[in-house]
């Protein structure tokens, strides 16, 4: 039964292939804050905006491939960058692990959120343990896809809302259009082989209509943004969805997934490292940072080195080690216990906890601030 549950979960999470996606604060509003006695360092909005440079870069790659490489990349690249082990080690898994370290590396945080952690763990156990035995595969798939897209885009929209001071209505309208359009793109890409021609065409047309509405609504709502910099950030955020749709229509599925994935993961990572610097640079508050202090390791390197090293070990060797042990001791080879079971659980837990841990009043917020 354990193998069947993991197999079902693997199918549901196959477009993330980890672990799942995608990537931090499904977030609330982030106000611009300046450094205080507690906040020695802030996250630069200019740095976060620079991450959107992946958009013109991917457009350039597509142009070169179309006109000079005879669509070589289009034909040979997989549907998702998560098919590459190196990509998972560099982007997806480390930010999931880093997020987990933030939570479990503090007794204060664990006590504060213990009910949330226990509750979601039981819910996921019931859903994927019992529910996977009779709930249709596509229901699971669309549920996880919707949660993934919502998580990824709400993070970015939350940051833009804080910077641009968008009214509540504008924020929710832009977020809703982005999420539904993004979900259509994801479903169109990852379920393309199981869709009828008419269904595929309908999904593509619907996602195009939603993207058009998103662009028109953004033209209207940009009047609330008072600075040129803020408007650049607002439109860059909109382009995450619009450009993904464009690559989807052009059948550059790899690029369609890469653009929002990279921006989301990298943005989250910048925030995590900033948080840990502010929390631990004066007085290390967990064993990891105390060891790093004794070894004279720069505080900026602790979270990246730990999460990237652990991501490599788990992704490259985790399943092999566990399946070998279960075969030796129990005579049963259970596959994907780590990459789907453990990392899948951490990813879904990440989706949930990031939606609550960065809200105003959260203990996390004492150690993070944003600045232009």
pLDDT, tens digit (0-9, with 9 covering 90-100), for 300-346: 889 989 999 999 999 889 899 988 888 888 888 888 888 888 988 99
- In angstroms, the CA 176 to CA 237 distance is 13
Q: How does 300-323 read in b/e, with b if 16+ C-beta sit within 10 Å? A: eebbeebbbebbbebbeebbeebb
Mean pLDDT of all residues in 256-264: 92
pLDDT, tens digit (0-9, with 9 covering 90-100), for 172-225: 999 999 999 999 999 999 888 888 999 999 999 999 999 999 999 999 999 999
- pLDDT at residue 36 tops 80: no
- As a whole-number percent, the residues of the chain with pLDDT over 90 amount to 56
CA distances from 202 to 5, 20, 81, 116 (A): 32, 27, 26, 39
Confidence of residue 4 (pLDDT cuts 50, 70, 90): very low
Structure tokens belonging to residue 324: 């070998």
- pLDDT at residue 119 tops 60: yes
- pLDDT at residue 66 tops 90: yes
Confidence of residue 24 (pLDDT cuts 50, 70, 90): very low
According to the model, what pLDDT value does residue 82 have? 63
Nearest to residue 244, comparing CAs of 187, 182, 174? 182
Mean pLDDT of all residues in 244-261: 94
Q: CA 253: distance to chain centroid? A: 17
Confidence of residue 89 (pLDDT cuts 50, 70, 90): confident
Structure tokens belonging to residue 329: 């001791």
Residue 369 is given by DSSP the state -
Mean pLDDT for the chain?
Answer: 85
The answer to whether 339 and 89 are in contact (CB under 8 A) is no
pLDDT, tens digit (0-9, with 9 covering 90-100), for 94-104: 889 999 999 99
Mean pLDDT of all residues in 258-282: 92
Which of residues 144 and 45 earns the better pLDDT score?
Answer: 45
- pLDDT at residue 268 tops 50: yes
According to the model, what pLDDT value does residue 81 have? 62
According to the model, what pLDDT value does residue 121 have? 92
**pTM of this structure:** 0.85
Mean pLDDT of all residues in 38-47: 83
According to the model, what pLDDT value does residue 11 have? 44
Kindly report which listed range (35-39, 48-52, 168-172, 316-320) carries the lowest average pLDDT score: 35-39
Q: What is the CA radius of gyration of the chain?
A: 21
């Amino acid at each position: 039964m354990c193998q069947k549950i993991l197999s079902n979960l693997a199918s549901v999470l196959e477009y993330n292939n980890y672990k799942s996606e995608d990537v931090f604060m499904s977030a609330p509003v982030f106000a611009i804050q300046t450094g205080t006695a507690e906040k020695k360092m802030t996250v630069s909005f200019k740095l976060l905006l620079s991450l959107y440079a992946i958009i013109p870069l991917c457009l350039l790659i597509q142009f070169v491939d179309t006109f000079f490489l005879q669509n070589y990349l289009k034909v040979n690249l997989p549907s998702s960058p998560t098919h590459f082990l190196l990509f998972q080690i560099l982007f997806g898994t480390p930010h999931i692990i880093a997020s987990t370290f933030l939570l479990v590396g503090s007794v204060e945080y664990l006590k504060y959120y213990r009910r949330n952690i226990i509750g979601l763990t039981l819910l996921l156990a019931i859903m994927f343990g019992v529910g996977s035995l009779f709930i249709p595969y596509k229901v699971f798939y669309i549920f996880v896809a919707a949660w993934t897209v919502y998580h990824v885009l709400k993070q970015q929209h939350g940051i833009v809302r804080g910077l641009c001071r968008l009214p509540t209505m504008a924020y929710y309208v832009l977020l809703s259009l982005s999420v539904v359009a993004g979900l259509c793109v994801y479903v169109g890409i990852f379920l393309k082989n199981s869709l009828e021609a008419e269904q595929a065409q309908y999904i593509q047309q619907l996602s195009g209509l939603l993207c058009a509405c998103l662009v028109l609504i953004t033209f209207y709502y940009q009047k609330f943004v008072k600075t040129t910099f803020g408007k650049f950030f607002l439109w860059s955020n909109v382009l995450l969805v619009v450009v993904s749709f464009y690559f989807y229509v052009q059948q550059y599925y790899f690029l369609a997934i890469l653009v929002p994935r990279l921006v989301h993961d990298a943005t989250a990572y910048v925030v995590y490292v900033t948080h840990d610097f502010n929390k631990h640079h004066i007085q290390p508050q967990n064993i990891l940072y105390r060891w790093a202090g004794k070894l004279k390791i720069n505080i900026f390197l602790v979270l990246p080195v730990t999460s990237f090293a652990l991501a490599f070990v788990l992704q490259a060797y985790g399943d092999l080690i566990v399946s070998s042990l279960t075969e030796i001791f129990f005579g049963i080879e259970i596959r994907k216990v780590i990459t789907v079971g453990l990392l899948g659980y951490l990813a879904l837990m990440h989706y949930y906890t990031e939606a609550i841990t960065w809200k105003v009043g959260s203990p996390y917020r004492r150690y993070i601030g944003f600045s232009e």
